Amino acid sequence: MAKLRRTDEDLSLWLTLNSASTAGVNSISSFEEEISMKRYLSFVLFLGLINSSLAGATSIGMAGMAVDISGAWSLSVDLESGQHSTPTFIFKQQGAKLTGTYNGQLGKHKVTGTVKGNKVVFGLEVTDPNSSQTIKVTYSGTIESPTKMTGAIKATSGQQGKWTATKK
């Protein structure tokens, strides 16, 4: 353990509080040992607090640790325009990479995305039948638990809203 620096004020205080101690080198050495022990115990207590905090954390709550959301999900989508839809997504997750399919009001489409910690972003592209333009629809959200996600939806057409998902 590294030796701690002591100040004359620390030593004076310690000698005053421990007047029964023998003055001299033994007192200085005891003083340094006591301070070292207090710092060591503080460090051990600090590590214990960190450990107990991490013991209650789930993999979702820890940044950098991703939960696997592979499987079928039922979404409830509410757009600001008042439209409501209930598409189904089937995801396959490999590390941070997310692929899958969308099946809903817009037809059946391929989905790609990412999962980072408890954050998820996925989307699809559809062709507007009226204008033949490609519209990109992006879902971004938070993985609340292994069976629940919530987030926002935004399309390049200007539509936006909120969504919730439940794993089937």
pLDDT of residue 54: 46
User: pLDDT tens digits for 53-84?
Assistant: 444 444 444 444 558 999 999 999 999 999 99
Give the domain range for residue 94: 71-167
Q: What is the pTM of this model?
A: 0.63
Helix (H) or strand (E) holding 73: strand 71-79
What is the model's pLDDT at position 21?
45
* Residues paired with residue 135 on neighbouring β-strands, in sequence order: 126
Residue 75 bridge partners (DSSP): 165
The answer on pLDDT for 14 being more than 80 is no
Model pLDDT for residues 112-158, shown as the tens digit of each residue: 999 999 999 999 999 988 888 999 999 999 999 999 999 999 999 99
What CATH code is carried by the domain that includes residue 88?
Answer: 2.40.128.120
Same domain, 82 and 28: no
pLDDT tens digits along 26-55: 555 665 666 666 665 555 455 454 544 444
Q: Are residues 97 and 20 in the same domain?
A: no
Using the CB atoms, write b or e for 112-126: b if 16+ within 10 Å.
ebebebbebebbbeb
Question: Same domain for 51 and 111?
Answer: no
pLDDT digits (tens, 9 = 90+) for 98-116: 999 999 999 999 999 999 9
Helix (H) or strand (E) segment spanning residue 30: helix 25-55
Instruction: Say how far apart CA 60 and CA 41 lie, in whole Å.
Output: 32
CA-to-CA distance for 146 and 168, rounded, in angstroms?
11
More confident residue, 114 or 11: 114
Q: Report yes or no on 115 lying in a domain.
A: yes
Please indicate, yes or no, whether residues 104 and 51 belong to a single structural domain of this protein. no
Task: Provide the 3-class DSSP secondary structure of residue 28.
Answer: helix
Would you say residue 96 has pLDDT above 70? yes
- At residue 59, the pLDDT reads 41
